Every structure is written in structure tokens, then in C-alpha cells.
């Protein structure tokens, strides 16, 4: 019995030692990420860390590009780190010695607020991008006004001049938009009011790019028929348009997509896509760096920076 107790005690000790080693290793790697990669001290005086989900979507690629562009302009050293339930870097950021952080909130609201308060207690300025958090404390925010996005969607839908049955398809691939469904739909309702034939319907896709394809087949077979589909992710838009082409339903359902890519523009020009929602992720990255540098240098910065949104039609 004593031998078993000793074995269990040894196992617990080894697990504790392993966890401690991992935590120390993460702290060291995060600290080194804001130092020179060549072994020499980095001549730049400000070091910021950017925490983004590990999704390789075009949106996050363009945010990163904007951050890099602005970091060069403001002579800032920058490092990128994942954020999420399984990413320890953000939990240890308060100990890393960084001068500031740009964060896309991608944790539960309770944990997100706790981590933000920890950074604040260590006097580390923070800028949130594209997705805000509900808190009494006004965290600095740079991104899209989703109520305005809804208004612009509603204005485009009104141009059809008919009673509309609208489905908005949110996606795990665009979590900032999906987290503010109510604001988007409030914006649509504000413009359309009695022109909606039924309450706005919500659907959601996951990270699998095939989700939108299956969902579109399903939605096009509803009775009474859907008159307008609004997508909030570029990949979902492209998958849905291919289904509409395959079913020979081009022009029979109004489709508002998301993003500006060569494929999206081609569908707009061909009349397959009625309009697309255009946000500016590269500007989000640029403005986030600008505002954070201002916070670091002066302690003051705008509390909210709206980076704009447009709904661009095929005839524009």
C-alpha cells in the first residue's frame, strides 16, 4: 500500500513538473518573440504582441498584413500569437514584458474579461479588433460597425422592391460577425420594417467549407421559397453560388455575399451575385497599430475607430 502511495505521489510530482516546464517554456518563447530574432538587441523601442485565431482565412491574413505594414511605419517590433482555449500564450502575456497587445477576442466572455483585467493590472495597453466585449470598462476598439452593416444590407435588399423572406447565414469562420447577430438584424429591420414577409431567419455554418453547400441546397427547397440569402463569409458565398449555378437558379434568389476577391468580383460582373459586403481587414490592422502606439506613447487614444463597411452591387 505504501509503495502504491509513493508511486502515485511520484506521478503527481512528475505531472506538476511537466506542467511547470511547459508554462516556463511558453513564457520564454513569448518574451523572446518580442526580442530580436538574430540574437542582437532589437533597436526598436516598442514591442507589441498580436493575438489572432489560428484560422487561415483571408480576413485574418489581411489583418496581419495591415499590422505588419503599420509596424514598419511606426518602427514597432511585432509578434503574432494564437488565441483560443488551447493556446497558452495569451494567458501568460501579462508576464512577457510587451508594451502593448492587439487582441481579437476568441475566448469565453468570462475568461476574456479576466485576461484583459490582468493585462490592465500590469499596465499593458490593449486594443481589441473587430469583436468587442461586454464590459463596464470601455476597452479601445477598432473594427466594423455591425449595425451599419445591417443597415446597408437592408438598403440593398429594398432595391428589389418586393416583400422579402430573408435568411442570414452566419459562420464560425467569421466569429466577429456571428457574435453580433442581433446588431446586424436590427440594422436590417430598421431599414426594411414592413417589407419583410417574415422574421429574418438565421442559419450558421461551421469551419467545414462544405457546410454552406449543403445548407444552400436545403434553403432553396424551402416552402414558401426564400427570396434573399445573405452570407457573412467569403468561402460560404462561393460555395453557395456554385450550388445556385448547378441548380440553374441564377436570378431567382437574391444573394448578398461577403468579401472582395477575384472570384467574388467575377460573380458580381456576371450577375450571379447581386452584391457583396466589403469590410477592410487590412485597415483594421493598420488602425489597431496606430491607436495602440498612441496609447503606449500618450496614455490616450480614441475609444472607438470605425473602419467602415460597404455593400457593393454588381452595377457599381
Residue 6's pLDDT is 52
Give the mean pLDDT of 242-253.
94
Q: What are the helix (H) ranges across 162-233? A: 175-178, 181-192, 211-219
- Listed range (34-48, 49-63, 66-80, 162-176) with the worst mean pLDDT: 34-48
More confident residue, 161 or 93: 93
Question: Measured between alpha carbons, how far is 300 from 293 in angstroms, rounded to an integer?
Answer: 10
Question: Measured between alpha carbons, how far is 232 from 263 in angstroms, rounded to an integer?
Answer: 16
- Listed range (4-8, 269-273, 277-281) with the worst mean pLDDT: 4-8
Instruction: For 165-189, write each residue's pLDDT tens digit.
Output: 999 999 999 988 999 999 999 999 9
Cβ atoms 308, 283 nearer than 8 A: yes
Q: Residue 267 corresponds to which cell in the numbers above?
A: 460573380
pTM, 2 dp: 0.80
Strand, coil or helix: 139? coil
DSSP state of 108: -
Instruction: For 11-50, write each residue's pLDDT tens digit.
Output: 544 444 444 444 445 444 554 444 443 344 445 678 999 9
For the chain, how far is it from start to end, CA to CA, in angstroms?
80
Cβ atoms 228, 257 nearer than 8 A: no
**pLDDT greater than 60 at residue 293:** yes
**pLDDT greater than 90 at residue 200:** yes
Residue 217's pLDDT is 94
Domains detected in the chain: 44-144+281-307 (3.40.50.2300), 146-279 (3.40.50.2300)
Instruction: For 84-112, write each residue's pLDDT tens digit.
Output: 888 888 888 989 899 999 999 988 888 99
Polymer length in residues for the chain: 316
Q: What are the helix (H) ranges across the chain? A: 2-33, 58-73, 109-121, 146-158, 175-178, 181-192, 211-219, 234-246, 262-270, 281-298
Q: Which long-range contacts (CB under 8 A, 24 or more apart) does 179-187 make?
A: 179/131, 180/131, 180/146, 183/146, 183/147, 183/150, 184/146, 184/147, 184/149, 184/150, 184/153, 184/232, 185/150, 186/147, 186/150, 187/146, 187/147, 187/148, 187/149, 187/150, 187/151, 187/152, 187/153, 187/154
Residue 44's pLDDT is 61
Amino acid at each position: 500500500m505504501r509503495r502504491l502511495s509513493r508511486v502515485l505521489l511520484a506521478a503527481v510530482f512528475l505531472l506538476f513538473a511537466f506542467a511547470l516546464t511547459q508554462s516556463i517554456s511558453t513564457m520564454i518563447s513569448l518574451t523572446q518573440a518580442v526580442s530580436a530574432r538574430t540574437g542582437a538587441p532589437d533597436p526598436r523601442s516598442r514591442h507589441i504582441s498580436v493575438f489572432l485565431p489560428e484560422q487561415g482565412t483571408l480576413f485574418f491574413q489581411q489583418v496581419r498584413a495591415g499590422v505588419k505594414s503599420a509596424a514598419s511605419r511606426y518602427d514597432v517590433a511585432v509578434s503574432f500569437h494564437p488565441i483560443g482555449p488551447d493556446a497558452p500564450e495569451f494567458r501568460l502575456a501579462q508576464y512577457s514584458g510587451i508594451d502593448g497587445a492587439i487582441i481579437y477576442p476568441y475566448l469565453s466572455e468570462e475568461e476574456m474579461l479576466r485576461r484583459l483585467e490582468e493585462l490592465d493590472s500590469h499596465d499593458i495597453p490593449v486594443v481589441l479588433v473587430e469583436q468587442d466585449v461586454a464590459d463596464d470598462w470601455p476597452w479601445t476598439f477598432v473594427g466594423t460597425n455591425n449595425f451599419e452593416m445591417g443597415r446597408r444590407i437592408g438598403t440593398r435588399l429594398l432595391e428589389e422592391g418586393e416583400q422579402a423572406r430573408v435568411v442570414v447565414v452566419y459562420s464560425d469562420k467569421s466569429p466577429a460577425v456571428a457574435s453580433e447577430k442581433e446588431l446586424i438584424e436590427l440594422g436590417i429591420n430598421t431599414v426594411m420594417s414592413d417589407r419583410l414577409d417574415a422574421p429574418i431567419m438565421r442559419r450558421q455554418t461551421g469551419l467545414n467549407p462544405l457546410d454552406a453547400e449543403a445548407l444552400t441546397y436545403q434553403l432553396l427547397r424551402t416552402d414558401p421559397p426564400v427570396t434573399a440569402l445573405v452570407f457573412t463569409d467569403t468561402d460560404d458565398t462561393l460555395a453557395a453560388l456554385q450550388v445556385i449555378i448547378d441548380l440553374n437558379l441564377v436570378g431567382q434568389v437574391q444573394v448578398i455575399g461577403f468579401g472582395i476577391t477575384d472570384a467574388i468580383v467575377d460573380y458580381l460582373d456576371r450577375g450571379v451575385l447581386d452584391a457583396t459586403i466589403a469590410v477592410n481587414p487590412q485597415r483594421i490592422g493598420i488602425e489597431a497599430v496606430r491607436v495602440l502606439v498612441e496609447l503606449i506613447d500618450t496614455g490616450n487614444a480614441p475609444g472607438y475607430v470605425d473602419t467602415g463597411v460597404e455593400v457593393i452591387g454588381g452595377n457599381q
